[in-house]
């Protein structure tokens, strides 16, 4: 899928979660979870940004 697919997928999943929340339901999507571990200034944020194809949301 790569970055191009992630750029399209992430907003779609966000919209789905928002739609379910607006009607008081849990989207209950089985999404992958990842952990990036490393020391301070080791580039963890950069790894995540490259993985999803854009800056992380805070």
**Residue 26 CB: number of other CB atoms within 10 A?**
8
Name which residue leads in pLDDT, 5 or 46: 46
What pLDDT does 56 receive? Answer: 56
pLDDT at 47: 86
* End-to-end alpha carbon distance in the chain: 24
Residue 7 covered by a domain: yes
Domain membership flag for residue 35: yes
Where in the sequence is the domain holding 13, given as residue range(s)? 2-51
When divided into structural domains, the chain yields a total of 1
In a domain, 56, yes or no: no
Cα dihedral 24, 25, 29, 35 in deg (nearest 10): 40
Please write the tens of the pLDDT for every residue from 16-46: 889 988 998 887 778 778 888 999 999 898 8
Q: Does some domain include residue 57?
A: no
Whether 58 maps to a domain, the answer reads no
């Amino acid at each position: 899928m790569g970055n191009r697919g992630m750029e399209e997928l992430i907003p779609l999943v966000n919209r789905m979660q928002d739609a379910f929340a607006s009607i008081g339901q849990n989207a209950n999507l089985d999404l992958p979870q990842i952990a990036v571990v490393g020391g301070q200034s080791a580039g963890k944020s950069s790894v995540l940004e490259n993985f999803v194809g854009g800056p992380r949301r805070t």
